[in-house]
Copies of this chain bind each other. A is one copy, B any other.
Amino acid sequence: MTVSKTLIDDTVERSALTLGMVGGGHGSFFGPVHRAAMRLSGRWRVAAGAFSSDRDRSIASGRALGVAPDRIYGSGEELADREAARPDRIDAAVVVTPNSSHFEACRALLRRRIPTICDKPMTADLVEANALVDAVASARTPFAVTYTYAGYPMVRQARELVRSGALGPIRLVHVEYLQEWLAEPVEKQGNNQAAWRLDPKRAGLSGALGDIGTHAFQLVEYVTGMEVTEVAGELHRIVEGRQLDDNGFVRMRLANGANGLLWASQVASGVDNALRVRVFGQKGNLDWRQEEPNTLSLAISGEPVATLVRAKPYLSVPSRAAAWLPAGAPDGYLEALAAIYSRIADAVAAGPGYDASREPGFPTIRDGWRGMAFVDAAVRSSRQSGEWIRVPAWGRSDLA
């Protein structure tokens, strides 16, 4: 088992980068998620921020995050202007506000030539998107949109498979992104995440299609390597009284004439968050599901269905380079180990007050000792033709 060196290896010397955040303070859904991903990457440190459009809230969040007081700002524009004037200016900034604020913040950052990372959908409408294209062209600095799914190793493999011609000419594409969280009118029941996403002033010209349909669409173009040239569709407001769509069916035509179907729904009761893309060529199809992201199904006509697994040597270089851990240590391992490290931190931080008798949330000396007692007994049993051997109980007097 060898670790993919590209992502997990932190024994390569690399300069740490500083980041400014626009949005992402207390109560934000995606702010902590972005910061956790940054920490995992080991490449970024939050050094500045306009964490809320309310200055006091921004300051409170910034302090909790350990940001220096003089680098906590009240708006993206202020952050851009004042950071640009510092000798230790941030290396980049990320914008994770509601959609309708993306444009102004990104434009201000780009004017100052600060590399910019923008959450999706990029803007509230196409007019703003056009203007941002110009702003990026002028700034000549990196600009990224956090379409997270493009970061999955098996999505990258899917793209490489299409590119390689393994499927033959592409004929049909089916993509769906289903969620249930707007199946009831929660926007009227105090759910702020729902409220702004269904408010045209904050979300822009679409609800579900903008929020998650854009992810699905990006996957289609990313995986096929082709542009969609035409769409025909229908957006629905399934829950009464909504101003923006909560469900949409869209037919698509791709650059080579292939036909596609896109279904985005936030009223798909019983489904948490299910994104799936299938691409059919003349020779076969591929199938990827976000709920089991470590595998990719490849069905070539006339052959057994192949299940490709994250990080295996038979994958393409771009796919392998996107994996943190080797095959067999699927995503989740790092989270589990990090959970244990968090609980140990709790115990250590408790200091003298540490109560070893409470269930600590991490394996302790007892678990370590039990493992050795087990191995010891099993080895002895094996040496004695499989006889039963007693495993001493924890804490019994015969231990000493």
Contacts and interface: CB of A to CB of B under 8 A. Distances in A.
B301 A309 contact: no
16 contacts: A1-B29, A39-B39, A40-B335, A91-B348, A144-B344, A148-B336, A167-B269, A171-B238, A217-B374, A222-B363, A231-B381, A270-B280, A271-B285, A293-B336, A298-B304, A321-B361
Q: Which of A209, A267, A341, A385 has the most B CB atoms < 10 Å from its CB?
A: A341
Given A372-B129, A374-B217, A304 B306 contact: yes
A237 B249 CA distance: 21
A250 B3 contact: no
A202 interface: no
Given A122-B368, A231-B378, A270-B299, A263 B261 contact: yes
B144 A363 contact: yes
Given A9-B32, A336-B151, A348 B142 contact: yes
Given A342-B43, A364-B144, A369 B283 contact: no
A34 B337 contact: yes
A303 interface: yes
A14 interface: yes
A37 B341 contact: yes
Contacts of A117: 341, 344
* Chain A interface helix/strand/loop/mixed: mixed
A336 B152 contact: yes
The 3 closest A-B pairs by CB, nearest first: A272-B328, A273-B328, A331-B332
A125 interface: yes
Nearest to A272: B328
Given A118-B368, A339-B322, A305 B306 contact: yes
Interface in A186-237: 193, 204-206, 209-210, 213-214, 217-218, 221-222, 227-236
Contacts of A9: 32
Contacts of A382: 233-235, 245, 248
A375 B269 contact: no
A68 interface: no
A370 B217 contact: yes
Nearest to A145: B368
